[in-house]
Structure 1
């Protein structure tokens, strides 16, 4: 119970809830939205520059040799979870708005978290080096393949991707990420020495992206568009995705005959989804009136995965002791 409450009081969770509340009460509209989106884009550029500076290229290059761990992890995150999201999206389309149904596909093709997956793996006695490498590789791949996967899997009757968003991805996500990797040796230590400061910058940028996206959804009538019964459907489908993610990752780790520490790392890297990638990418890829609804499944999944991961990691830790 304490672990679950601790997950709810995570600083990022609190900022996300505040952003949703603020967007519900004071959504940015009209000319203000253009300014807010410009601020959000600038923040996203900075976020992916920092990601490029932080992701450990040397560890990634060293870790890619462990194909027995990494290849199944990549296939599960971008393949297995993607196909599960197609099923969830098909069921969602029956009762939920098309943008929310698209959000399940978006959820399925997102990479894992870096910090959260590594932190919970550490608590649970997992293989830390594999956690770092696995999450880093997934996020590097996510920068390049998440958007094309959405275009490939989304059906023609779903809301279209903002075509300008493809150029924006290159300018706002790929360019700063590549620059960060290029200048990692020079600026990387500076970021590492100020980890707490830049960690808060990450959270604020993500929260701004969520605020701008949800403002568009609120303007479209989010809280009247989805009824209480439909929220029940949404929660049930996200719960099914969580079950598939956590049980599927644990089962696949056993099938691969990974040792327990490696299997624990595979579990958290495979089952978790990154709001740090999801919120900025949605704000860049989708039109403002669509982005907030697309993010709904991702936000619910993110909150619930933390509520699940905290006691799960504690249980693994007790079992190890």
Structure 2
């Protein structure tokens, strides 16, 4: 029993909920009128999700840290340039390593904005620059509302995946309209969301689980589990790990070479290596309507990998900080 509790405590509860939703969709997929109703609910959930994020995110906070422009530039370039470059390079070097839908999912993953909550949490645990992390992650999400569909649409179209410019612009509008509405209503409801973070968290989690159920319902009806096996899932995990490890290594090396402080290095590493599940699933659903099942698998796998890797990395940074503090304290009290 103790062993079971120990294993369960190490599992991300949200990932467990996603896996249970996938299992439920496999056993009882939505069909016919039910599928149509779920589709409408999913569209409404996506609109609500971006509306509430618009109401929660503060433009003032996002751009308040302009004096840290070098740090924010590093995070921005990692999120919207380095990641996509690595993604398309991997596809160019090994086009047959993954099936086309999984490559599409990986390319979409590389164009996503950073997370807000996880970036700030890991930066705080590691002893990084938390105000800069808040600014950088918030700005990434603000820009990602319209940049991500444009970058993803461009990259996917260039690599033979049928995505029209009209559909990309339609997605920008679908995401931007509720987001802007939330920003406009922020003076009236922003304080409430700040005081009650569980409201936004509930919408985040509920929307994502609904999107996952809808996506895998479509996939099960179309025979998704006959299209992917354990070997293919292992390949996805392998390329996700390689992608994350490469980005973290480059950011760590570049931060030190460019003379950033330790606290700023931590912020750059954690904000620049994250990808948002909350943004990725709605965008995938809108971009690949009716064919999203396999496409979201790279993102779902990457989500769990980034949580495990960054939790370990945050503890490592924190331990180094404690060791350095103890060493400094030891030196300071040594008798002369």
Pair in the same fold by TM > 0.5: yes
- Counterpart of 1:177 in structure 2 is 179
- Counterpart of 1:299 in structure 2 is 300
The match for 1:215 among 210, 213, 217 is: 217
The match for 1:245 among 240, 244, 247 is: 247
- Counterpart of 2:96 in structure 1 is 94
Q: 2:131 aligned with 1:129, yes or no?
A: yes
Contact 2:54 2:180 in 1 (8 A): yes
Q: 2:233 aligned with 1:231, yes or no?
A: yes
Moved over 6 A (4+): 2-5
Residue 185 of structure 1 deviates from its aligned partner by 1.7
Q: Mind listing any 5+ residue stretches in structure 2 that lack a counterpart?
A: 323-336
Contact 1:3 1:311 in 2 (8 A): no
- Counterpart of 2:120 in structure 1 is 118
Q: Look up the SS of the partner of 2:115 in the other structure.
A: coil
Change (3 A) 1:306 1:72: same
Q: TM-score, normalized by length of structure 2?
A: 0.88
Change (3 A) 1:280 1:140: same
Q: Look up the SS of the partner of 2:114 in the other structure.
A: coil
Contact 2:46 2:207 in 1 (8 A): yes
Contact 2:153 2:165 in 1 (8 A): no
Question: Number of aligned pairs?
Answer: 319
The match for 2:285 among 277, 283, 286 is: 283
Q: 2:14 aligned with 1:49, yes or no?
A: no
Q: Look up the SS of the partner of 1:27 in the other structure.
A: coil
The match for 2:35 among 24, 33, 36 is: 33
Per-residue CA deviations over 1:263-306 (Å, capped at 9, x if unaligned) read 101111111111010011111121212x1211111110001111
| Bigger Rg, structure 1 or 2 | 2
Residue 141 of structure 1 deviates from its aligned partner by 1.1
Change (3 A) 1:13 1:227: closer
The match for 1:186 among 159, 182, 188 is: 188
Contact 2:157 2:163 in 1 (8 A): no
- Counterpart of 2:77 in structure 1 is 75
Residue 194 of structure 1 deviates from its aligned partner by 1.4
Per-residue CA deviations over 1:116-158 (Å, capped at 9, x if unaligned) read 1111111111111111111111111111111111122125564
Per-residue CA deviations over 1:163-188 (Å, capped at 9, x if unaligned) read 77435524431011111112212210
Residue 161 of structure 1 deviates from its aligned partner by 3.0
Contact 2:119 2:133 in 1 (8 A): yes
Q: Look up the SS of the partner of 2:47 in the other structure.
A: helix
Q: Mind listing any 5+ residue stretches in structure 1 that lack a counterpart?
A: none
Residue 209 of structure 1 deviates from its aligned partner by 1.0
* Distance in 1 between residues matched to 2:35 and 2:93, nearest whole Å: 33
- Counterpart of 2:68 in structure 1 is 66
Q: TM-score, normalized by length of structure 1?
A: 0.92
Q: Look up the SS of the partner of 1:112 in the other structure.
A: coil
* Distance in 2 between residues matched to 1:140 and 1:48, nearest whole Å: 10
- Counterpart of 2:329 in structure 1 is none
* Distance in 2 between residues matched to 1:89 and 1:4, nearest whole Å: 35
Residue 197 of structure 1 deviates from its aligned partner by 2.7
